[in-house]
Each structure stands twice: as C-alpha cells, then as structure tokens.
C-alpha cells in the first residue's frame, strides 16, 4: 500500500519530470535565432583605439556566445569603410575581421557571420564579403493600439504593455530588438496608423522613451504614428489647420518634447484624410501642405515624415485611381525629409495586384513601398503563404518611367531627390509565445528584413535561410518545404482570387469568401460586387479607356499592354477588364472553365501541402509539426470553402456547368452564405457539423 509520503514522492517525481520535459518543449519562441551557446567564449576583440559603445558591446557578446570559429574575431569601426550601415567581413587564416563605418554596421556583420555559420555558408581563407543595405530606413509598422489590441493582428495582443510602462519593462522588448537587428531592421513605428491623439501625451511619450532606450542599443530608431488632429485633442486648439500659426507652434513644442525624451527619434508616420482619419483636406489644404508643415518642424532634429498615399473616398468611381489622382498634382512639392509611403498595389494588400502606378509616376518625390507582413487578406495566421514571392513581383516590376527603372530602382537611395530611402512592412507580431501565431508565419517577418537589406536576394534563398535556421538543416526537410513555400502564394491566389479578381472577402474580418456580401447602408467600395462586377455577360472591373481609365496611370507600354484584352497578362485580366464568360483564353479554354480549373488546382495544391508536411515529420520537433499540421489541414479545407463559394456564386451569373472533370462542390451555396467562415469559427467540431 502506498503511504502519503510515497504518494507525495511520486507526485513530486511526476511534476519534476514534467518540468524537465517542458524545458525541452518547442514553442517557437526562439524564432530563427537558435545558436548553441559556447561553453568557452570566442576570442572577440575591438580594434586598437576603438571606444566601446552599447551596440559594439552587443556585437561582441553575440560573437563570444555563439561564434564557433577557432581564430579570433576583430571588430573595427573605420571612417574609411562602408557607409549607410554597410560592412565588410574578411577571413584571414582562422581569423575574421568585421569592419564598418558605424557600430551598427559591425553589429549587422556579426549577425551575418552567425547566419552563415547556422546555414553552412562558411567562408574560405582570403574570402571577402561586402554588404550594403538596399534601403536606408528598414521599418516595421506596428498597428498596435494603446489599449493593447492590434488592428489586423492575428497573434494575440500587443507586445507593448502600456499599462505596465514605464515602471515595468518586459523582457520581450529586448528579444524583439535582437530579432530585428539580426535581419537588418533598423526602425519601428510603435503604434497604429489609425493613431490616437493620446500617443503624443506626455505620459505616453515617457513610456515610448523607455521602449526606445531598449531598442537603441540594437541600432533601432523609434517612430510614432500621429493623429493629424492632435492639436485639437491635446492642445485644445479650435483647429488643426497646418497653415495656422498656433497649430504650427503646438507641433513645434510637442516635437521638442519628444526629442528631449528620445534624442534619436526617427519621425512621424501619418495617415490623413483616409477612412475617416483627419487631415489637411479638412481645412481646404493639400497633402503637401500637411506633410511639409510637419517636415519643417522635424528637419532641425533630423526627423522624417512618412506620409501614406492610402487614400480613397466613397464617391470615387474607381478606388484604384484615387491615390494617383490625389498625389500626382503635388509631385516635386514635398520637402526633402518627406517620403510618400505607397502600398505595393493600388487597392489594399490584395492577394495579387499590379504594382501601384505611383511608383512610376512620381518622378520628383521620394516614394517608399509598404508591404503587409500580417496576412490580412491571405489567410491570416492560419494559411501558409510565403510573401517574398509577391513582394519580389512588385519590387522587380519595370515601371517604364522616364529613364526606366524597376520599383526597387526608383525607390532606393536616389541622389538629387532625397537623402533617405525606405521600405515599410506592417508587422505580424503579437504577444503569443511564438510571436506570429503560426510558426511558418515567422518566415515573412524574417523575409521582410532580409529583402529590406538586400533586394537582390531571391525568394528561394530567403526560404532556405529561414528553414535551416528555424527548423532543420537536413536537406530531406529543407528542399521539399522550400518548394512548398515558393508555391504557396500562387496556390493561395488560385483558391482565393485568380485571374485578377480582388476584394471578394467577408465583410470586416477579411478571412473567408463572401462575393455576395451586401450589408445595407454600406458604402459601395467596401463591398465585393463593386470589384468583381459579375453579371450575365461576364466578370471583372473595366479599367480600360472605356471604363475607369486606370490603365492610363501607367507609363507606356504598360498602359497599352494592360488596356488590351488580348495582351493583358492573364494574372491581371479581371483586374483591368470585364471579360465575357465565353471568352477563349490562351490555353483554349473559356474564361468560365478556366476559373473552375484554377480554383480546383488551388485546392489540390493545398492538400498536397498537407502531404508534404507529413513527410517532414521525422526531421523536426513534435510540437511545431503538430501545430503546423493542423494549420495545413485547415488551410486545405478553407481552400475547398473558397472554391465552392466563388464558383457556386459566380455560376448563378455564368449559367454554365462546372467541367465534368472538375470535382463537384462539396458544400451548398445556401450553407456557405449562412455560415460565415472566420479565423476562429471553423474548428474540427465545426467541420463535423457541416453538410
């Protein structure tokens, strides 16, 4: 018989075993930074005559803890070296020399060396690596609110614990800073573009200053989104007119307060006169008036204004045209420390869009790309969609502007226009243990930083780097999963919105399909029918010279290419044209049959991803394998839902049968319309209840 003492010993043993096992349980928190700490520190030294800085101390510590090389590592900051955070690594025998014109560059060199060690990309004797970042400002935009919620966030609540600051500083802040520095991100906007005036209150600024103090030693500058009406809300002024002297004085005083607290403050991000946000147009002023007022106040401090071009009004006949119409009249009128921040496409982070025409049109203004890392329109934290393939399609697109140039070339550092270039990404980070809600979604955070640093990297290179560092370097794992990632964007587009279809999501949350969505008293440009325009004749938005004329916003030959039904790239066909159902496409199929086959191919690919992931099981930990398997299976079922919803709905207009060799829908349209597919409401139990 077991007495009470023995029972207690057994329970303590079980608890102890559970604790030991929990120490080894994989929760995804370490991201791609999985180096094994050295038992004996590596030999890392500063070059003779160099002074220590907080950034150099971190570079030295990282190398001492994790560099496995046998020789010494010499860190050198030299005025004659590379500029703009660039660095050089030289291998001399067993020794390494890391040099840069800045301590930040040395830190990036340290992380580059450790990345090469993790991925097996080792340097031979005499090798020289020289790196220069593609963009000066490589910035994450957090859409985090003061109450801890995150707009378009799918990974829990905000990592910024405003109610605990400034007294309590979460260790997450430094872990976050380290992760960003390791991939070259050097700037962060802490709060939502739909900014609350309270972010500029003295109490909040003191909290911001504490976060900035943590980020600074990792080479990261802090920025804030600002509400244009802040002088009215905080300063009790009757106006926020940018040409009003009292308004200018308020902003000048507030900016001085910010720089007293945060000497290296980066500047302001502004969303104005869009989706109900206040702006200069409220007072009969222009975007240039508003941006330039703030820019003049920031200029003495070295700050910049990032003024978003995401604007649209309910009255516009084509939302895709409005940013061009509002900003092009002011090309060349913005101050040198203003950067116009342009979403990659002309609508709103859709699964596939042509690049925004502003990249080719604004020739006298610095513009910067804005990408969405958080997958608002691409399955959120459930679906695996590797976004560098989409971002590269935008960055590598030829604009055909005067003198030519890809989107990358016209947004990078440009002598004669502005002294700074930038690229922004809307963060997918929250306070869940694995940071992004899905272990594979970490790949897009990683990829954004790497592309900001080097736009010449291929999506395949980035995928391989991420997988080797985050999961396993075993080629039996890396190669098939890399191919999965590289196919994932095309797959998602196929089962969501192929051939240029766009914005046919569920109202509000944007997870599932609702091409039928039409809530009463809702502005037309928030509804799918505004975009797909399906009728008995065909489907698609006519943006040719006969329609909204959006094609004319592109430089030639793109305007003619996109405007001609016969030459328009088929991936954008329904973006630019209203196409008859019986139109014969280049593969000989009618538009309707083609839609059916593409939707079905997306579903088949999604189920193939489940099989590929199951084959990866022997090479990774159980915890992340099981978590991702659930997501891949959910993604495949969601793909079926998307296919059935779209084809059954559009079939009401086409009145054509689904091809006999396509699998028939597994759902009924009435059921699909009654049950709104959402990130949180399609569990295994829900699936069992479905017809």
The answer to whether the Cα torsion of 51, 55, 57, 59 is positive or negative is negative
Of 95, 97, 348, 431, which one is the catalytic site residue? 348
376 in active site: yes
Backbone phi and psi for residue 446, each to the nearest 5 degrees, phi listed first:
-60, -45
638 in active site: no
Closest among 288, 369, 381 to 336, alpha carbons compared: 288
CA dihedral 509, 513, 519, 524 (to 10 degrees): 90
Of 275, 456, 670, 680, which one is the catalytic site residue? 275
Which residues lie below 8 Å from residue 423, measured CB to CB, with a gap of 6+?
A: 134, 135, 137, 138, 139, 368, 369, 370, 371, 411, 451, 452
Which residues lie below 8 Å from residue 25, measured CB to CB, with a gap of 6+?
A: 623
DSSP helix, strand, coil percent of the chain (3-state; round to 5): 45, 10, 45
Pinpoint the alpha helices (H) of 190-275.
Answer: 202-215, 230-233, 245-261
Query: Residue 95: in which H helix or E strand, if any?
Result: strand 95-100
Query: Residue 580: in which H helix or E strand, if any?
Result: strand 579-580
649, 612 in Cβ contact below 8 A?
Answer: no
Closest among 361, 438, 354, 446 to 396, alpha carbons compared: 354
Q: Where are the beta strands (DSSP E) in 437-501?
A: none
- Opening angle at CA 179, ends 64 and 92, nearest 5: 40
Of 289, 376, 439, 593, which one is the catalytic site residue? 376
Residues paired with 30 in a beta bridge = none
43 in active site: no
- The angle that helices 459-470 and 103-119 make with each other, rounded to 10 degrees, is 80
**Residues with catalytic roles:** 275, 348, 376
């Amino acid at each position: 018989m077991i007495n009470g003492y023995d029972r207690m010993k057994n329970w303590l043993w079980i608890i102890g075993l559970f604790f030991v096992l929990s120490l080894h349980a994989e929760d995804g928190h370490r991201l791609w930074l999985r180096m094994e700490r050295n038992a004996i520190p590596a030999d890392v030294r500063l070059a003779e005559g160099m002074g220590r800085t907080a950034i150099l101390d971190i570079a030295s510590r990282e190398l001492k803890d994790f560099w496995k090389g046998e020789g010494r590592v010499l860190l050198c900051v030299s005025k004659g070296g590379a500029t703009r955070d660039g660095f050089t690594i030289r291998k001399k025998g067993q020794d390494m020399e890391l040099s840069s014109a800045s301590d930040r560059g040395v830190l990036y060199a340290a992380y580059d060396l450790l990345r090469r060690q993790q991925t097996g990309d080792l340097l031979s004797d005499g090798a020289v690596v020289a790196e220069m970042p593609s963009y000066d400002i490589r910035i994450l935009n957090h859409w985090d609110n003061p109450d801890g919620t995150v707009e378009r966030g799918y990974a829990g609540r905000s990592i910024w614990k405003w109610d605990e600051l400034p007294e309590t500083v979460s260790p997450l802040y430094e872990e976050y800073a380290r992760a960003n520095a390791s991939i070259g991100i050097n700037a962060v906007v802490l709060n939502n573009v739909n900014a609350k005036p309270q972010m500029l209150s003295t109490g909040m600024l003191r909290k911001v200053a504490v976060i900035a103090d943590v980020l600074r030693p990792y080479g990261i500058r802090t920025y804030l989104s600002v509400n244009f009406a802040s002088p009215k809300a905080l300063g009790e002024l009757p106006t926020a007119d940018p040409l009003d002297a009292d308004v200018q004085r308020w902003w000048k005083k507030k900016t001085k307060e910010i720089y007293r607290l945060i000497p290296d403050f980066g500047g302001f991000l502004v969303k104005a006169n869009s989706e109900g946000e206040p702006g200069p147009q409220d007072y009969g002023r222009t975007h240039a008036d508003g941006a330039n007022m703030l820019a003049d106040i920031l200029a003495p401090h070295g700050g910049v204004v990032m003024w978003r071009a995401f604007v649209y009004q309910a009255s516009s006949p084509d939302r895709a045209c409005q940013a061009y119409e509002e900003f092009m009249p002011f090309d060349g009128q913005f101050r040198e420390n203003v950067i116009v921040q342009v979403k990659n496409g002309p609508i709103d982070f859709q699964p596939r869009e042509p690049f925004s025409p502003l990249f080719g049109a604004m020739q006298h203004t610095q513009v910067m790309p804005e990408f969405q890392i958080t997958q608002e329109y691409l399955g959120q934290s459930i679906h695996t969609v590797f976004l560098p393939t989409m971002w590269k399609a935008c960055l590598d697109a030829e604009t055909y502007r005067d003198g030519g140039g890809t989107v990358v070339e016209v947004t990078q550092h440009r002598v004669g226009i502005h002294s700074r270039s930038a690229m922004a990404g809307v963060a997918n980070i929250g306070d869940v243990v694995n940071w992004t809600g899905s272990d594979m979604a970490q790949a897009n955070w990683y990829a954004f930083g790497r592309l900001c640093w080097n736009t010449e990297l291929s999506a395949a290179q980035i995928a391989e780097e991420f997988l080797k560092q985050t999961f396993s370097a075993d080629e039996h794992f890396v190669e098939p999963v890399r191919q999965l990632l590289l196919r994932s964007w095309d797959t998602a587009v196929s089962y969501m919105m192929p051939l240029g279809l766009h914005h046919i999501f569920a109202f509000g949350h944007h997870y599932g399909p609702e091409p039928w969505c039409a809530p009463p008293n809702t502005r037309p440009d928030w509804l799918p029918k505004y975009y797909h325009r399906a009728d008995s004749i065909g489907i698609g938005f006519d943006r040719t010279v006969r329609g909204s004329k959006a094609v004319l916003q592109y430089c030639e030959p793109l305007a003619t290419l996109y405007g001609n039904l016969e030459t328009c790239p088929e991936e954008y066909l329904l973006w630019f044209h209203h196409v008859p159902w019986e139109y014969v496409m280049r593969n000989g199929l009618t538009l309707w049959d083609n839609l059916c086959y593409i939707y079905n191919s997306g579903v088949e690919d999604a189920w193939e991803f489940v099989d590929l992931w199951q084959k990866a099981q022997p090479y990774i930990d159980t915890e992340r394998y099981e978590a991702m398997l659930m997501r891949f299976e959910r993604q495949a079922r969601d793909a079926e839902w998307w296919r059935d919803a779209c084809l059954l709905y559009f079939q009401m207009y086409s009145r054509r049968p689904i091809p006999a060799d396509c699998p028939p829908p597994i759902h009924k349209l009435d059921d699909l319309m009654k049950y709104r597919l959402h990130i949180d409401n399609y569990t295994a139990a829900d699936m069992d209840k479905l017809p």
